[in-house]
């Protein structure tokens, strides 16, 4: 595990304490709907995955970097065999608690999305990965691992932040001001000074990477995926949404 991954592991443990959106377990309504066959799953911060996508979800599902008690328990409530992988033990504990509260079975694995060696080849029909790829420095290792664990014609659904989101000064954004500060591609490890990185580590903030659209597509195609569908969504943060329409991107891909 690289140093920034260890920092992100601690950061996401802290995000559970901070009640980050992605750490809030599914509610009773979502569980009951899933039991009736209606899946409410999120790949991006705004809106649910289209029904045309949920119909593509197979029996054996990997919820990748999807701890927090959201996707995993909903999928389990729908009758699927679910494995949740996440770098944060606190996030996985949210899944275990939620599953126990609703009498559900799921498996949790504490690992980085770069390392799925504990999972067998071609052991899943579907991999669902809500926005989290911006927490790893490279996409190719993740996409290669996902392809390996998927069966032929397996489906990979993931969300990712639009790279342009990373041009802004985060502190200014929090004050509602749009201040362009960074060139792209952004990396917390190279775009920030040593002092800024130390402050981030002390505050248990996440280290992030913008990637580029070129790297998303080339890494997908090189790993052996075909893109079949996509959609975009806003960020739910008005200053950004007033400026950028497609803040987050979601893709449905098939192992070729």
What's the CA gap between 254 and 154, in Å, rounded? 6
**pLDDT classification of 173: cutoffs 50, 70, 90:** confident
Structure tokens at 72: 């995993």
The 10s digit of each residue's pLDDT in 75-104 is: 999 999 999 999 999 999 999 999 999 999
Model pLDDT, residue 249: 98
User: For the domain 3-161+211-255, what is the CATH superfamily, name and number?
Assistant: Vaccinia Virus protein VP39 (3.40.50.150)
Give the mean model confidence (pLDDT) for residues 116-128. Answer: 98
- Roughly how many angstroms between the first and final C-alpha of the chain, as a whole number? 29
> Which of the residue ranges 96-110, 147-161, 162-176, 190-204 would you say has the lowest mean pLDDT?
162-176
Over 50: is that where the pLDDT of 14 sits? yes
Tell me if the bond preceding 185 is cis, omega within 30° of 0.
yes
| Domain spans, the chain | 3-161+211-255
pLDDT, averaged across the chain: 96
Q: Which residues pair with 143 in a beta bridge?
A: none
Model pLDDT, residue 1: 43
Residues in contact with 6: Cβ distance below 8 Å, sequence separation at least 6, in sequence order: none
Model pLDDT, residue 2: 58
């Amino acid at each position: 595990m690289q140093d920034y991954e260890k920092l992100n592991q601690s950061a996401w443990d802290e995000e559970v304490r901070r009640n980050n959106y992605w750490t809030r377990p599914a509610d009773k309504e979502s569980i009951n709907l899933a039991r009736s066959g209606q899946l409410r799953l999120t790949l991006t911060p705004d809106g649910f995955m289209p029904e045309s996508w949920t119909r593509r979800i197979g029996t054996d599902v990997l919820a990748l970097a999807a701890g927090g008690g959201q996707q995993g328990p909903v999928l389990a409530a729908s009758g699927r065999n679910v494995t949740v992988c996440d770098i944060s033990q606190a996030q996985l504990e949210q899944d275990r608690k939620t599953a126990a509260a609703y009498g559900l079975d799921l498996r949790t694995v504490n690992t980085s999305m770069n390392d799925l060696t504990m999972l067998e080849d071609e052991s899943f029909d579907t991999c669902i990965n809500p926005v989290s790829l911006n927490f790893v420095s490279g996409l190719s290792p993740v996409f290669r691992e996902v392809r390996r664990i998927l069966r032929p014609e397996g489906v990979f659904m993931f969300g990712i932040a639009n790279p342009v989101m990373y041009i802004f000064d985060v502190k200014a954004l929090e004050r509602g001001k749009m201040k362009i500060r960074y060139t792209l591609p952004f990396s917390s490890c190279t775009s920030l000074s040593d002092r800024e990185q130390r402050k981030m580590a002390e505050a248990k903030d996440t280290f992030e990477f913008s990637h580029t659209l070129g790297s998303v597509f080339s890494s997908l195609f090189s790993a052996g995926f075909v893109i079949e569908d996509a959609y975009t969504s806003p960020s739910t943060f008005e200053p950004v949404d007033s400026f950028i329409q497609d803040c987050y991107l979601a893709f449905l891909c098939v192992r070729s």
